[in-house]
Structure 1
C-alpha cells in the first residue's frame, strides 16, 4: 500500500488533494507537509522547507515514503514580484525532491501549468507538443521543471509524472497569488453578497478546471500503468475555456444581484494574455482516460453550495465535505 507525502499541503491544490488522497488510500498513509508549524498531537502533518535537501530526505526516509506529490511553489503573480525567490523555491525544492526520490525509489508528481507556454505558442487548441517560450519566471520554472523531471526519469529511472494544469477553482483554500485567482475571488465575493472588482478584462479567455476534476486527474495519472504514458511530463488537461464575464453571468443565475466591475491589473493582464485560451487534452484522454466531469454550470452550482455551507472535514478523514477557507493542517 502506498505511503504518500504531499508538500505544499496548505496551498490551493494541497488542501483538496490531501483530502482526496486520504479518502482513497486511508488517512494514516498520507503525510501532509508545509512551512507552517504543526498543531500538537498532529502526527499526519510535518513542517517541511523543501529548500532544505537534508530535511526532505530525512522526512521521506523516516516516513518510508513511496509517492511524493510535490506542490510547494510560488505562483505566477507572486513569483513575478519576487523572481529570485521564485526560482529558488520552485527549482531547488523540486531538485531536492527528485534527488530524494532517486535515492529511495519514490514516484513523484510535479504540477506544470499553462504558464509553461508563451505568446509564441498557438493560443487555441494548444497542442500537447508545441513551442514553450514563457515570458514569466513562473512559466520558466515550469518548463525547467518538466525537463528536470524528464531527465530524472530517463537518466535515473525515477517515475516522475505531471500535468499542465489550467487555472484552478477551489472552494477549500483562499487565493494564493495566481493569475486565474480572479475566479475564486469572484465566487467568494458572490457568497458574501459583495460586489467584485476583477483584475482581468471581461473578455480574457483562459482554460480553467474545477478542483475536484483536477485532484481526480492527478490521482488517475499517478495510478496509470507506465507503459500507457507517452509523455509522462506533462499532459495537457482542462475543464472549460471561459472568460470573467461568462463566470459572472453564470453566478448571476443563482445570485441575481451579484455585480462585477473591472479594474485591470496590468501585470496579471499581461500574464493572462500570454497564456493559451484553450488546450488540446486529447493525449490525456487517449493514454489514461482523462475526462472532466464539471462544466461551468456544474462548477458554479457546486461552488456556491460549498461556500455557503462549508464544514471542516479534517475532523473526519472519510468525509466528502470540502473545508472552509480557513481550514488547514497546522
Structure 2
C-alpha cells in the first residue's frame, strides 16, 4: 500500500515541482497538495488540493486524519529577502509551522517528516570554501536564524522522541517552471527570463558574488532520495549539506552568451548583497554522498541549455 503524502507549501518554487514528481511516482491520489492559497491550474488539476493555514495545528491534524496521511513535506516558509522586510512574520511562520509538524509526529499522527533547511544557516564567520557539514554557524538573517534553530529542534525531536525527521540545506535553487520566491539567489532565475525577454539583465548581486547553486531536478531528486533512504542511513538529523555547482553572475552571463551572443548584464547591488556576502561560496556535501549516495546530474553548462530551451518554448507560445 502506498503511503499518503501531504505537501504543505505546495504552491512555492520547490513545492510545485515536488508535488508533480511525487504524484508521478506514487499516483495523484496519494499526494495531497496544500497551501494558504490556490496554486497554478496544473497543480490544482493534477490531484487533491487543500487550502491550509500551516500555523494552525488543528487544521493540519484534520487533513492528516481525513486523508490518512503518514508523510509530511513541510515546504512552507518565508525566504531570506522577504523575511528581512517582515522579520516577526518570518519567525512566526517558519517556527510555528515546524513545531506543529514535529509535535504531530511526536504524538504519533505522522510517521515521517521532511523539513528544508538552507545555506542561510551559515554566516560571515563560517568557512567560505568547501563549508563543512559541521562548522561555525552565526546566521545574520531572520530566515537563517529560523533555519538554524529548526535544525536544532529537528535533531532534538529525533533524539528525545524518536521522530523520523529528515532535512537538507538547500543551496540556491534554479527552475524554469516556478517564479522566483523572494530569495537572495533568485537573480540566477531572473537572468534567464530577462535574457530571453529583453536581451539584458541588471543583477542585484555584484559580478563576483559566488554562491552554491543547484538545478531544480537535482533538488527534487535529492529530497525524495533522502526521504526514501532506510532510516539507518540517515545519520545526520539536523540537516545535510547539499551541493552541485558554484558560479558568479559573470559566469552565468558568459554561459548565456554562448546561446544568446548579444546578451548584456549590468550590476546594481541592493540589500541582498549583504545577505549573499554572509553565505558560503562552495559546499562540502561528502556526508550526503556517503550516507545515502547523493549525486548531482546538472552543471552550469547543462542547466543553462535546459533552462533556455524550456523558457524559450514558454515565451514563444
Corresponding residue for residue 245 of structure 2? 240
| Aligned pairs for 1:146-161 within 5 A | 146-161=151-166
Looking at structure 2, the residues matched to 91 and 211 of structure 1 have their Cα atoms a distance apart, in angstroms, of: 25
Matched, 1:83 2:83: no
2:133·2:287 contact (CA, 8 Å) conserved in 1?
Answer: yes
1:60·1:100 contact (CA, 8 Å) conserved in 2?
Answer: no
Q: 154, 167, 172: which is aligned to 2:172?
A: 167
Corresponding residue for residue 51 of structure 2? 47
Q: 77, 81, 88: which is aligned to 1:73?
A: 77
2:28·2:46 contact (CA, 8 Å) conserved in 1?
Answer: no
Q: TM-score, normalised by structure 1?
A: 0.91
Looking at structure 1, the residues matched to 298 and 213 of structure 2 have their Cα atoms a distance apart, in angstroms, of: 10
Runs of 4+ in 1 over 6 A off after TM superposition: 38-42
Looking at structure 2, the residues matched to 30 and 287 of structure 1 have their Cα atoms a distance apart, in angstroms, of: 27
Distance apart, 1:304 and its partner CA: 0.7
Corresponding residue for residue 296 of structure 1? 300
Corresponding residue for residue 114 of structure 2? 109
Looking at structure 2, the residues matched to 308 and 28 of structure 1 have their Cα atoms a distance apart, in angstroms, of: 32
State the SS of the aligned residue for 1:66.
strand
Q: TM-score, normalised by structure 2?
A: 0.95
Matched, 1:181 2:186: yes
Number of aligned positions between the proteins: 311
Distance apart, 1:102 and its partner CA: 2.3
Superposition RMSD in Å: 1.6
2:7·2:31 contact (CA, 8 Å) conserved in 1?
Answer: yes
Looking at structure 1, the residues matched to 181 and 197 of structure 2 have their Cα atoms a distance apart, in angstroms, of: 19
Distance apart, 1:26 and its partner CA: 1.2
Deviations 1:177-231 (A, max 9, x none): 1000000000111122342110000110000000000000000001111111221
Corresponding residue for residue 268 of structure 2? 263
Q: 136, 140, 144: which is aligned to 2:149?
A: 144
Matched, 1:29 2:34: no
State the SS of the aligned residue for 2:167.
strand
